Structure 1
Amino acid sequence: MQYGYFDDEAKEYVITRPDTPTSWSNYLGSTVYGAVITNNAGGYGFYKSGAQGRFMRLRFNAVPMDQPGRYFYLRDRDSGDFWSASWQPVGKPLDQYKSECRHGTAYTKITSEYSSIRSEALYYVPLGQNFEYWRLKVTNNDSKERKLSAFTYCELTNQWSTEQDQVNLQYSVFISKGEQRDNMLRFAIHDNLYKQFPNADFGEQGMHSWMALCEAPLTGFDTSREAFIGTYGNYEHPDAVKNGKCTNSLAYGDNICGSVETEITLKPGESKEILVMFGIGDAWVTGKPIVAEFGNLDRAEKELAKLKETWHARLGSFVANTPDEDINHTINVWGLYNCLITFAWSRAASLIYNGERDGLGYRDSVQDILGVAAAIPEEAEERLVRMLSGQVKCGGAIPVIKKDHNPGHEKTPEPGEFRSDDCLWFFNSVPAFIAETGKWDFLNKVVPYGDEGEATVYGHLKQALLFNLERMGADGLPCGLLADWNDCLKLGYKGQSLFVAFQLRLGLTTYADISTRLGEKAESEWALCERDKLDKAIQAKCWDGKWFIWAITESGQVYGTKTMEEGQ
């Protein structure tokens, strides 16, 4: 089944059928103001933390999937028929409703055609800003005048901590408030309570958000979810849209939503565009001046151009032209774009990951540097240093590097918390970074350990090798410890991992090469000697005559032999 295609000239992936097998998502914004949006406008937003700064709600693993989101509803005021600018949530029959989604570089545009009305919904976060644009352009392709009403909808969390919002309803459902003034809505949490609320150390931004309608008159609004949706309504046919009018509800101790309503009258062939802004911070203090500066279509278009220019420059760091189109798609746009997104978010937020880890997973983040060193070398170096400072003096690593990471003062993990592969990934990422940047002197940079002391990058590499060499199993192979790269594999702490053995072998080889280049002959000879010992153990214990095994458990069970029906 064909659902879309790559448009590499525009640097967009085009989804031509909205009923994709699963929701296909894109990322908007930055690691400060982040957003996930799907091809049907589902998704959510968060500030600094997917777990502790979630200001827009999504229900994970729900039915229907990826709802709620950032919705535009359109209603014909004459016929009463209504639909959404994205196929979902109304879900009109696809023989009547046409949809195209273009996921671009930190922006998404969804185009629809229904009942002779064409709409284009465009979503993005301007560079360096803590708000998002929702732009809706509506065109009348009918032969007669059309009178439409447009409604926005998004659902706000009742507490920015996801756990509090989803679980602690006896508390969170009673602390929200919605207000309206002119063309703006104000959403507040804890407005009447103490200001030093837990899990939201976000200064003046904390647990406040706003929505503004620009370039169109406000004819109605709702801030109460129950008022907009209806007690027994749903996103498919909310009461306000079905009835043709918002109720101007001011939520107080309710579930809150953001809905602004405007009326659009179009002559045949005529187009009109409205602009909606959604951001964080107090509406009257933070939002109002932002709307005054950014709340017009000319400025919104300039911000979009800046956004595209910045992202496209990153993607231009390397370009290939091969006979294989799929390789070209991957190398020139989508492989690197995915690497840049992964580097930025470190799997902290998605449609399937709630963000509760709230930090940089060690091995993941060290690996991420491999994909971006050429495109964003300064950021790659900064991340490398941060991860090196999460290595502790014994050579192992702190499993997750938190936002408040304090090198030199962190608690040393308990022995049972160490994973065997974490710091061995430096033997992939450090050489790759140096090869891309030519910064050979990076090896001499002094970086503190997480717990105490410091060393050059070269010294950190030596310590990574010693960590594994000092934790070898009964057969002379590295222990898997809490886990090797495969977290699902439980070998027992002293079980042995061939994956890590090969990593250690690469590390010793790389360290020997670096040492030779630095004139450290003794270090090079030491590394090669240790490699020889490891090679003998690998050949003696791990080759079964057809292929290599992949693990030996603490109890002696061998995995991956040619005799196993599964897991060979």
Structure 2
Amino acid sequence: MIERYQQPAAFDKAWAASQSYWQETLDTVLLDCPDDSVNFIFNQWLVYQTLACRMFGRSGLYQSSGAFGFRDQLQDSMALLHTRPEVCRDQILAAAARQFPEGDVLHWWHPPHARGVRTRISDDLVWLPLVVSEYLQVTGDVALLDEQVPWLSGEPLADGEAERYAHFEISEDESSVYDHCLRVLERANRLGPHGIPLIGGGDWNDGMNRVGLGGQGESVWMGWFLIVTLQRFSRVAAARGDEVTAENLTARADRLVQKLNQNAWDGKWYRRAYYDDGTPMGSAGNPACEIDSIPQSWAVLSGVADTARTKQAMDAVWQKLVRPDPGQVLLFTPPFRKRGNKRKGKAQPDPGYIAAYPPGVRENGGQYTHAACWAGMAFAALGDAEKTSAVLDCLNPVKHGNSEAGIGQYQVEPMCWLPIFMGKRPT
């Protein structure tokens, strides 16, 4: 390779191909708005970052492992549907091939083999049918559903076994992408005492890995998320002529809506979860995680929650979690503390390794940008342009680095900057 690219003609050809690829990718969808910083991040930086850091390098800031995350890269690939839909398609097939016949999946793995970790995390697998639904809506490529994908083989996790890292074998058995998605939704049909999905070894917030360690803990966020997925994939099934499945998925979604309306509302916002012993998380008066943003955002995004409640819940998010100065959208508040969480003598159960993070850092009550995006999307869905714009300003890295004082406070750099030399040969 070194010898080949020392030849000027070979280098020039490769350079031209690279320029053409990025130019085509970045020019597909263009935004024009009065804020130049928003134009820049939407038209160049975000798409470049998604492909370069998240898909090609898998080396996002602070997590340079090179591994594929089951949910992570599926989520990332959705951002490329209008520019590089083939990347999303390939990721769907790659993720489906990291699924066991029991329906569960590898939380992450290193290519080229299936060396990774099998867990009890509840939401990973559900991203597969959601992303498939989104891909089909954008591309119309229904042939994807009939693509044959192998399963992984391996002994299921034993009772009391939270996770297992191993090199898993590829099975000789194959099933269609459609069947892989149905196996996911069958596996996800595990409900707790309140009729809400079990949180398992954690949900989107991996650090809450002991909330449901005993097999009874439930995730309110997972309930809203699963409703969206069931509704979306029921339409996929109906379009395929599988009316029995479509009706079954719709009925399951309807039952979840009923249970969440009955058991998830706390009076001013939605609770986050229930511990194994039934103690609510995300409830007024909790010494930690009194309010969490993601069950509020997804209650809105689901489109099935009570309108008055969702408005009240997002008002609480704005008041308690959004801080336009210095520009933060907190995941939840207050943070957990390693030595226990007590208020007025009342102890809160152990949520998991999230409490080992310093208070206000990462998932432990800091800004987790993914969740902050969902909050902005929820405000937009409610038609509140002012709050949506404020959240976008909090997220915009240009806003954090447009002055010496701002850089001194922000301290960290975005993951990587777009090389602004498009069309210009380096020397």
Q: In structure 1, what is the equivalent of residue 187 of structure 2?
A: 467
* More helix per residue: 2
1-side partners of 2:128 and 2:61: how far apart? 29
2-side partners of 1:322 and 1:292: how far apart? 43
Q: In structure 1, what is the equivalent of residue 205 of structure 2?
A: 486
Q: CA deviation at 1:291?
A: 6.9
Q: In structure 2, what is the equivalent of residue 510 of structure 1?
A: 232
Cα separation, partners in 2 of 1:325 and 1:566, compared to 1, 3 Å: farther
Q: Which has the higher contact order (CA 8 A, sep 6+)?
A: 2
Matched, 1:549 2:268: no
Contact 2:74 2:131 survives alignment (8 Å): yes
- AA at the equivalent of 2:96: L
Q: CA deviation at 1:381?
A: 1.4
Q: In structure 2, what is the equivalent of residue 521 of structure 1?
A: 243
Q: In structure 2, what is the equivalent of residue 392 of structure 1?
A: 100
The gaps in structure 1 that reach 5 residues or longer are: 1-129, 131-286
Root-mean-square deviation (CA, aligned residues, Å) is: 2.6
2-side partners of 1:462 and 1:530: how far apart? 13
Q: CA deviation at 1:412?
A: 9.8
1-side partners of 2:89 and 2:276: how far apart? 38
2-side partners of 1:351 and 1:324: how far apart? 26
Q: In structure 2, what is the equivalent of residue 189 of structure 1?
A: none
Q: In structure 1, what is the equivalent of residue 33 of structure 2?
A: 322
The TM-score normalised by the length of structure 2 is 0.57
Q: In structure 1, what is the equivalent of residue 52 of structure 2?
A: 341
Q: In structure 1, what is the equivalent of residue 7 of structure 2?
A: 293
Matched, 1:534 2:256: yes
Aligned residue pairs, count? 269
Cα separation, partners in 2 of 1:389 and 1:517, compared to 1, 3 Å: same
Q: CA deviation at 1:509?
A: 0.6
2-side partners of 1:529 and 1:461: how far apart? 17
Structure number with larger C-alpha Rg: 1
Q: In structure 2, what is the equivalent of residue 402 of structure 1?
A: 110
2-side partners of 1:448 and 1:553: how far apart? 36
Q: In structure 1, what is the equivalent of residue 218 of structure 2?
A: 496
> Counterparts in 2 of 1:174-323, with a 5 A limit?
287=2, 289-290=3-4, 292-294=6-8, 304-323=15-34
Q: In structure 2, what is the equivalent of residue 456 of structure 1?
A: 176
- AA at the equivalent of 1:385: L
Q: In structure 1, what is the equivalent of residue 136 of structure 2?
A: 434
Give deviations 1:221-252, integer Å, cap 9, x for gaps: xxxxxxxxxxxxxxxxxxxxxxxxxxxxxxxx
2-side partners of 1:332 and 1:354: how far apart? 25
Could you tell me which of 286, 304, 318 is aligned with 1:564?
286
Q: CA deviation at 1:394?
A: 1.4
Q: In structure 2, what is the equivalent of residue 268 of structure 1?
A: none
- AA at the equivalent of 1:537: K
SS of 1:481's equivalent in the other structure is coil
2-side partners of 1:404 and 1:301: how far apart? 30
Give deviations 1:292-334, integer Å, cap 9, x for gaps: 524xxx9867754543332121111212223343432232111
2-side partners of 1:511 and 1:310: how far apart? 33
Contact 2:55 2:76 survives alignment (8 Å): no
Q: In structure 2, what is the equivalent of residue 353 of structure 1?
A: 63
2-side partners of 1:554 and 1:455: how far apart? 35
Identity of aligned residues (%): 23
Cα separation, partners in 2 of 1:339 and 1:351, compared to 1, 3 Å: closer
SS of 1:394's equivalent in the other structure is coil
Cα separation, partners in 2 of 1:338 and 1:442, compared to 1, 3 Å: same
1-side partners of 2:91 and 2:281: how far apart? 35
Q: In structure 2, what is the equivalent of residue 200 of structure 1?
A: none
Q: CA deviation at 1:386?
A: 0.9
Higher mean alpha-carbon deviation, 523-532 vs 556-565, is at: 556-565
1-side partners of 2:61 and 2:236: how far apart? 41
2-side partners of 1:497 and 1:292: how far apart? 56
Contact 1:385 1:447 survives alignment (8 Å): yes
Q: In structure 2, what is the equivalent of residue 376 of structure 1?
A: 84
The gaps in structure 2 that reach 5 residues or longer are: 154-170, 292-427
- AA at the equivalent of 2:83: A
